[in-house]
Each structure stands twice: as structure tokens, then as C-alpha cells.
Chain A
């Protein structure tokens, strides 16, 4: 639990200005306490051309030290929880006149006494002690991996919804992976296919959209004939599912949403498509998954299968597929 400061800085403009002034005071004190003669000046604009302030904390404070060609930018975010929330990185900003760039320390935080102290430590190292970039990066890595600092833990077993009417799901193919699967195809025990896309996260949960698909439609999506936006907006049965999965043991939440009322922010951008597999490859790929399950059932329960024309045709198709696949 941390001690927050200027809690309603985004709602109250007077508090916002006090918050800005506090950063200036903290910076001036930091310089004077360390007896430095460093000359710095306010740097980035936080007003539009007509004078209206951004009032969004992006940034709340920035300063440039011309003699070092270094700058600090602090982005202050809305409070979301009682943990220590802070992140930092080094960046470069072009000067505008030549190829030279300003080296910049960027700090993003939710303001608390604890995060402010950490930020001041980084600023001191960057400007007062003039730490090298490698040294600075090491310091950032060290400070930002403190166990106090809130992270976003995520375990694979918490990605798929559990105890919902979608059933027990198995991922068949991951189409987009970024640290964890963001877009994938999955299947439940009844063989129903779903396309799932991640669209947001909080400190404790991920938010997904699931859409039920026919194998034909999956092929069309997988080959890029249907874009990802239409995959959900134009769902075959006109409904999608908004799913919330939690990083802990909480039971997933699920809600059916009509295609017409899906929030645009949840959907992939129009025009984004998958590609890379031919329809033929996919048909065999998908069929094989289903095929193997059905074949396994045949092996397990041979007496329940009655010989029929449909089964014979199905068996012939299987052999043809296998022959083509082997070829």
C-alpha cells in the first residue's frame, strides 16, 4: 500500500496546477540539495496553440539541461490501485536543427510518496550524477524490478475462460502472439470453433471477444478473405461473447453481445487480415484435428459405430485426405 498524492489531479484543475508546481519544487530542491550549478529550463509545451492546457499529465513536468543535452519527462497517470506503479526508459528527441538528439529520461508513474522518491532517484542519477546510458539503464532495470513495483503477472492457464457455457476450450492455432496469445482459434469438447481476440487488460484481468465460427468461415478468415473486424462484427449467428479472464483463480465472466452493439474499441481495426495459409492447407489442418478426435472415438467405442453409406463416404474422404496430405 502506497501513499498517494494529488489524487484528483485530473478532475480538479486547481489541484493539477498545485501538482505541477510540486514537481517543479521537488526538482529545484533536488538540485539545491546536491549543490549543483546545473542550469535547466522548462522544456515541452503542455498547451495547444490557443493556450488551452493539455491537463492530462502527459507530461506533467519536463526539463531540459542544455549543457548536458539531456532532458527529463514525467508522465503522471490516473490512480488505478494501491500498488507502487512506476516505469521508466531512455529515449531520444530530435533537436529540429540538425542530426543531434536530446537524450531523455522518461518516467511514467501513478503519483505516491514512494513513486516520487524513486523518480527523484532516477533524475538525480541522470542529471546530477550524469550517469552513462548503460549505467542508467542498469539502474532503471534494478529499480523497476523491485518486488514493491506492481507488475502484470499472466499465466497461460488463466488465458482461456473456465466454467462458462463455451465449455472446456483448447487452443488450436495462435494467429497473433505478443508475450501471450492475443488472437487464436480454439475449440470446445463438442468441436465448436471459436476465434478469440484480446482487446484490453487491467491490473487483474484480460478482456476478450469470442466468436463462434463454422470451419468454412474460419478458412475465409485464416486466408484473409474476411478481415478481422468483419470476423466479429459480421458473426454468422449475430452474437459474440465478451469474456473476462482473471490472473488469479476467479471464475471467468462471459456476456453475450449482439454484433450490432459491439463497442468499436473492442474490435480489431478494419482491414487487418490474417494470411499465410492456403485454403487447402487449412482444410486439411482443421479436418485432421477433428478427424483425429473422431478416429480416437472409433477406436475407443468400436461397437457403437454402425456401418452406413455416410460412414463409408466419410472413411473414403479420410483416406483421400491422408493420401493428399502425405503427397
Chain B
């Protein structure tokens, strides 16, 4: 597949992700849906401590779309600030492009 990437929640013993692998780059809505799906699938406590991280990840996706998308390789970690115990959410554009309008 030409376009690959993942959104990952990690730290504090958690390792969960939602990935894409497709012939067309994921759109903004598809990116936001993946974030929602990941947030829903992890335990409530894990989601609550990453609330800010998920919000900032959404903001990045929206910002990327407003600027034509994001080209590989991109690796961004949220939330901003020190990630205590590595509790975070990452967006990784591994190959191709993502979050196109």
C-alpha cells in the first residue's frame, strides 16, 4: 500500500494503536475517526489521562488538512509538555501522505 501510518496510545504499560494502509491517503475525517476509535477502545482510566493528548492529536490532524496534508515521515507525540511515565498519544505517518482535505 502506498499510504501507511498509525495513531498510537502508549505509556504506563499501555500499547494500543489504530493504523491505516491504503492506496489513497486518509482524509481528515478518517484520521479523526481513527483517533475516536482508539480513544474508545482503551480503558476509561487510560483515556481520561490522555484526554488532552487526544485533543491535541485531533488539532494536529485538522491543522494538517488545512495545510494540504502531512507527508511521511512524521512522528508527533502528544500532549505538549513532559510526558509523565510516557503517557502519550503519537501520530505516525510512515509512508505516503495523510489527512488530506
State the A residues within 8 Å of B (CB). 43-45, 48-50, 52, 54, 56, 58-59, 62, 73, 75, 77-78, 80, 85-87, 89, 93-97, 104, 106, 108, 110, 152, 176-179, 182-183, 197-200, 265, 268-269, 271-272, 274
Q: Is the interface of A mostly helix, strand, loop or mixed?
A: loop
Instruction: Specify which of B44, B51, B55, B74 is in contact with A45 (CB 8 Å cutoff).
Output: B74
Q: Which residues of B contact A50 (CB under 8 A)?
A: 67-68
> What CA separation (Å) do A86 and B83 show in the bound complex?
9
Closest to B69 in A: A49
Considering the complex, which residues of chain B in the window 6-27 have a beta carbon less than 8 Å from any beta carbon of chain A? 6, 12
Interface residue from B49, B68, B72 paired with A48 (Cβ < 8 Å) = B68
Closest residue of chain B to A106 (Cβ to Cβ) is B77
Contacts of A43 in B (CB 8 A): 73
**A96 and B72 in contact (CB under 8 A), knowing A49-B97, A183-B48?**
yes
Closest A residue to B1 by CB, please name it: A96
Number of interface residues of B (CB under 8 A): 40
Query: Is the C-beta of B29 less than 8 angstroms from some C-beta in chain A?
Result: no
Distance of A307 Cα from B27 Cα, bound (Å): 71
Where the two chains meet, the residues of B that have a C-beta atom closer than 8 Å to any C-beta of A are 4, 6, 12, 39-40, 44-49, 51-52, 55, 63-64, 67-77, 80-86, 92-95, 97, 100
Shortest CB-to-CB span from A137 to chain B, Å, is: 12
CB distance from A75 to the nearest CB of B (A): 6
Q: In the bound complex, do residue B81 and residue A77 qualify as a contact, i.e. CB atoms below 8 Å apart?
A: yes
Rounded to whole angstroms, the CA-CA distance of A87 and B49 in the bound complex is 18
Please determine whether B49 and A93 come into contact, CB atoms closer than 8 angstroms: no
Contact: B80 with A272, CB < 8 Å? no
Cβ contact within 8 Å between B39 and A269? yes
- Residues on B with beta carbons closer than 8 Å to the beta carbon of A87: 82-84, 86
Please give the distance in Å from A263's CB to the nearest CB on chain B. Answer: 12
A93 to B85, CA, bound (A): 19
Contacts of A73 in B (CB 8 A): 75
Given contacts A49-B71, A93-B94, A271-B40, 18 further A-B contacts (CB under 8 A): A44-B74, A45-B71, A48-B63, A49-B68, A49-B69, A49-B97, A50-B68, A54-B76, A58-B80, A87-B82, A94-B6, A94-B92, A95-B94, A104-B75, A110-B82, A182-B49, A269-B47, A272-B48
In the bound complex, residues from chain A placing their C-beta under 8 Å from that of B12 are 178
Contact of A77 among B48, B70, B82, B85 (CB under 8 A): B82
A80 to B68, CA, bound (A): 32
25 contacts between A and B (CB under 8 A): A44-B73, A44-B75, A48-B63, A48-B68, A50-B68, A54-B76, A58-B76, A58-B77, A62-B75, A78-B80, A87-B82, A93-B94, A94-B94, A106-B77, A108-B83, A178-B45, A178-B46, A179-B85, A182-B45, A200-B52, A265-B55, A268-B51, A269-B39, A272-B44, A272-B47
Q: Are A49 and B81 in touch, CB under 8 angstroms?
A: no
Instruction: Give the docked Cα–Cα distance between A22 and B71 (Å).
Output: 25
Nearest to B64 among chain A residues (CB) is: A48
Select which of B45, B47, B81, B95 is within 8 A of A96 by beta carbon.
B95
